[in-house]
Chain A
Amino acid sequence: MRTRTPLSAVTLAALLVLTACGGGGQSSSEKSADATPVKGGNLTFAISVDSGCIDPQQVGNNDALNIGRQLVDSLTVQDLDGKIQPWLAQTWEVSPDAKTFTFHLREGATFSDGTPVDSAAVKANLDGIVALGAKASLGSTYLQGYTGTQTPDAQTAVVTFAQPSAQFLQATSTMSLGLLSVPTTTADPATRCDGSTLVGSGPFTVGSYANGSKTVLKKRTGYDWAPTGAKHQGEAYLDTITYEVVPEASVRTGSLQSKQIDATTGIASQDLPQFDGNGFWTQRRANPGIPYNFFPNESRPIFSDIRVRQAFSKAVDRKTLASILNPGDVAVSSALSASTPLASDDSKDLALDVAGANELLDEAGWVKGADGVRAKDGKKLTVTVTFWQPTTAVLELVQQQERAVGIDLQLKQGTTAETTALQNSGDYDVLFYNLTRSDPDVLRTIFSTETRNVNHRAHSQVDDLLTQQAATTDTAQRAQLVAQASKLLVEEAHSIPLIELSTVIAANEDVHDLQFEGSSRLWFYDAWKQA
């Protein structure tokens, strides 16, 4: 029944390099920004998967989040520098213990059913997300420890947590905690997914949704509460946005080239050069959060030895990886991707060091055999990486680089199903994935022994640092704690970052001002189309 295989095989064979996967850096070839925006117009945007749901509070995949972002406004907005700015909340206060967040809402904003965006709506939404539980796969994580919302008056909402939750402020800027009208918060989750009861206060509303094929969003008339940092005020320019689901990569490329679609983020990196100039433009931004990373399982004998992990990391030539994926991209520089707020630069610890790697492995007692693979007590230094994302090309390169120091890296690409199963059972040597989140707290959710503990390791100093940064509202102090934690993660090779994931917009030149928001997802409010 794995009917997708022949297609994927041909796509991968023909394209060789992975889709939508690149390093950091922000190259731009967008047309002159001085053109005057035109009202009206219908924009067609291709996405590669449809998860069967467009409710931003319920979905976790990038394509669906892109749609949801246009439908809901958030309490705050995160600018591209990572700063949290006003949106539906004009001002806010955070208690020194990072447990109480008081938001003062702007007046006059309404949901598209006419009901006001007030503190009761904030409470209904946060309570609703907690009630959705795991169905709100991102939002429920952001609300861990949520104890409730008080509404002293219609414009004031006081959100409290049982434990410090510094990440919550950034979370309020995400579409995952975007506000829906009060009736929507208690509607059947399935009808929210198909858009029929999905009512937000955003610049667009749901026009129609057809499972697996297309979503049409319509401009909200009378919209007048654009966030700080928007290029204009009032209604959106576009009349409609149509998201077409186009699963085949080569068809997306051809559709853009023949202008059957206006824009997409789903062009394979080796096809991107043909959209630079000659009637098209591209723009790239690294996704904030955890870059594509090796997560060694330290409960395995091989990786319980810090020297082996460090050697594993030192053998990787990250500069080559970046340049091969997306020419012009920079190498990954820390346990956090460079576009993440408070990310530090640990590139010195991530430099290629073959001699150092060999030395460490020699010291650890792994001896090179005739076939170039190291062995100890009759056991080969073979590790298997389990993954499902289309990243085979980059992993094959890493495989060669590891081989050079005598590590035999085996690649095992499985289905999402197989990989998640292995992950949950803990039966793996190395995992490989990324996680998009524009707050450094993402380190805690992945690495802390109190949360996912992806390394299966014992409590150490890193965990204390990660817990402390979650409780610190002073930015400078938090930055220091995050820097210490991420340096430790890299130094002790709990985190072995390889490449940054970039989102790349490719659009035809009639499309203007289609931009990224803080999490490198798209923002269509300012976008307009040449008549």
Chain B
Amino acid sequence: MTGYVARRLGQAVVVLWAAYTVTFVILYLLPSDPVEIMLAGGQGGEQSTVDPAQVAALRHEYGLDEPLPVQYVHALWRTLHLDFGSSIQNGAPVTSLIGDALPQTAVLAVSALVIALVLGVGIAFLSTWTRWAWVRTLLLALPPLGVSLPTFWVGLLLIQFFSFRISIFPALGNEGLASLVLPSVTLAVPVSASIAQVLARGLRTALAEPYVETARAKGASRARVHLRHAFRNATIPALTIGGVIVGNLLAGAVVVETVFSRVGIGRLTVTAVNGQDIPLVQGLVLLAATIFVVTNLVVDLLYPVIDPRIRVVGVPRRPRASTKTLVGSVS
């Protein structure tokens, strides 16, 4: 087990390094210069008429005039010492910019996840529990709808009604619980849809398994079969999409934070990318990669807890294949 975790950590480091390097290369392939963008005032800016010699001096100050490999090594060396440099746009340390924004996105993501779990599990559960075919059809139509609705559209719709029309919730800002409601619900829509989709399918498959028949034959109640037996098995495939869910939350935050004028990692990313703020983009990419790596590691370590038949015996790869054979055809 320890060896497994160590190996996974090693992989994580490689993933982070790769993400860092790819970002670096892509940012430098872009046909532009972060200093020029800064001088144009970023988004909504006008033309700058600064003396080219002064522009060159500024580029020198940021080390942007050094050869690319030198810049790369410098940046990587600093990063290894957990020094992510300063934003080109405003000179603030990347760590403090991310540190200020992260809690806001964390609160948003966690509350959205809670809403999404309640909705997703509820829909999946009811759709398999109900004996009315029309209710099932209706409930099963919800996840595809939830996935296909554009997040910004949902957000604008909610804001129009609940903020502009009937003024229950504020349209802007990060202050207070009330300002969290609409953004969390917006962000929860696509996430709950993917949870419901996978969980409902898992539940249906599990309920058709022989052990369910056995349990029923032994006289277990319908609720007990559903909750203890089928649900537990259906959780595994739902868990495997943990990474997808985290991805949804991060990508959704970009849109939700813009629509609802919230501060957070999503908005920070938009600004950083628009301004080609290389140190900040790199810091954000590392953050996102770390979140993914950790999520996947946690998911992998959770498998044997949920299903004791799954053993983590130094298998470097995720035991997804074996999971599939255990719980049936999950695709």
Closest A residue by C-beta to B152: A7
CA distance A4 to B255 in the complex (A): 8
Q: Tell me if B322 counts as interface (CB < 8 A to partner A).
A: no
Q: Tell me if A97 counts as interface (CB < 8 A to partner B).
A: no
CA distance A137 to B40 in the complex (A): 8
Per-residue CB contact flags for chain A residues 246-265 toward chain B (1 = under 8 Å, else 0) read 11101100110110110000
Query: A52 touching B152 by the CB < 8 A rule?
Result: no
Q: At the interface with chain B, which of A68-76, A205-213, A353-361?
A: A205-213
Closest B residue by C-beta to A214: B173
Residues on the A chain within 8 Å of B50, using CB: 134, 137, 140-141
Query: A194 touching B173 by the CB < 8 A rule?
Result: no
Residues of A322-369 contacting chain B, CB below 8 A: none
Q: Tell me if A395 counts as interface (CB < 8 A to partner B).
A: no
Q: Tell me if B92 counts as interface (CB < 8 A to partner A).
A: yes
Q: Tell me if B164 counts as interface (CB < 8 A to partner A).
A: yes
Residues on the A chain within 8 Å of B87, using CB: 52
Q: Tell me if A411 counts as interface (CB < 8 A to partner B).
A: no
CA distance A71 to B189 in the complex (A): 43
Q: At the interface with chain A, which of B51-59, B69-77, B122-130, B215-223?
A: B51-59
Most chain B CB within 10 A, of A10, A133, A134, A140, is at: A134
Per-residue CB contact flags for chain A residues 188-212 toward chain B (1 = under 8 Å, else 0) read 1110011000000000000000111
Query: B49 touching A211 by the CB < 8 A rule?
Result: no
Q: Which of A194, A251, A255, A422 is the one whose CB lies under 8 Å from B92?
A: A194
CA distance A135 to B173 in the complex (A): 30
Query: A424 touching B261 by the CB < 8 A rule?
Result: no
Q: Which of A140, A248, A416 is the one whose CB lies under 8 Å from B261?
A: A248
A126 CB → nearest B CB, Å: 15
B: number of interface residues (CB 8 Å): 68
Query: A4 touching B274 by the CB < 8 A rule?
Result: yes
Residues on the A chain within 8 Å of B329, using CB: none
Query: B41 touching A133 by the CB < 8 A rule?
Result: no
CA distance A355 to B167 in the complex (A): 57
CA distance A10 to B254 in the complex (A): 15
Given the known inter-chain contacts A251-B261, A258-B163, please indicate yes or no for A421 contacting B33, CB distance below 8 A. yes
Q: Tell me if A80 counts as interface (CB < 8 A to partner B).
A: no
Q: Tell me if A2 counts as interface (CB < 8 A to partner B).
A: yes
CA distance A52 to B96 in the complex (A): 13
Query: B171 touching A7 by the CB < 8 A rule?
Result: no
Query: A415 touching B274 by the CB < 8 A rule?
Result: yes
A217 CB → nearest B CB, Å: 17
Q: Which of B36, B171, B174 is the one whose CB lies under 8 Å from A420?
A: B36
How many chain A residues sit at the interface, stated as a range, is 35 or more
Q: Tell me if A60 counts as interface (CB < 8 A to partner B).
A: yes
Q: Tell me if B91 counts as interface (CB < 8 A to partner A).
A: yes
Query: B258 touching A417 by the CB < 8 A rule?
Result: no
Query: A248 touching B258 by the CB < 8 A rule?
Result: yes
CA distance A245 to B100 in the complex (A): 16
Query: A212 touching B41 by the CB < 8 A rule?
Result: no
Query: B32 touching A418 by the CB < 8 A rule?
Result: yes
Query: A245 touching B153 by the CB < 8 A rule?
Result: no
Given the known inter-chain contacts A2-B273, A134-B58, A418-B31, please indicate yes or no for A260 contacting B170, CB distance below 8 A. yes
Most chain A CB within 10 A, of B44, B46, B274, is at: B44
Q: Which of B89, B159, B266, B269 is the one whose CB lies under 8 Å from A251?
A: B159
Q: Which of B90, B172, B173 is the one whose CB lies under 8 Å from A190?
A: B90
Closest A residue by C-beta to B88: A52
Residues of B284-299 contacting chain A, CB below 8 A: none
Residues on the A chain within 8 Å of B90, using CB: 51-53, 190, 193-194, 211
Query: A60 touching B39 by the CB < 8 A rule?
Result: yes
Q: Which of B101, B273, B276 is the one whose CB lies under 8 Å from A212?
A: B101
Given the known inter-chain contacts A49-B44, A214-B173, please indicate yes or no for A7 contacting B89, CB distance below 8 A. no
Q: At the interface with chain B, which of A101-109, A149-157, A431-439, A520-528?
A: A431-439
Nearest first, the 4 closest Cβ-Cβ pairs linking A and B are A190-B91, A61-B41, A417-B32, A52-B90
Can you sample 5 A-B contacts with CB below 8 Å? A4-B258, A6-B150, A140-B50, A254-B164, A417-B276
9 more A-B contacts (CB under 8 A) besides A211-B101, A421-B31? A51-B41, A51-B42, A52-B92, A190-B86, A212-B101, A212-B263, A213-B173, A415-B32, A417-B36
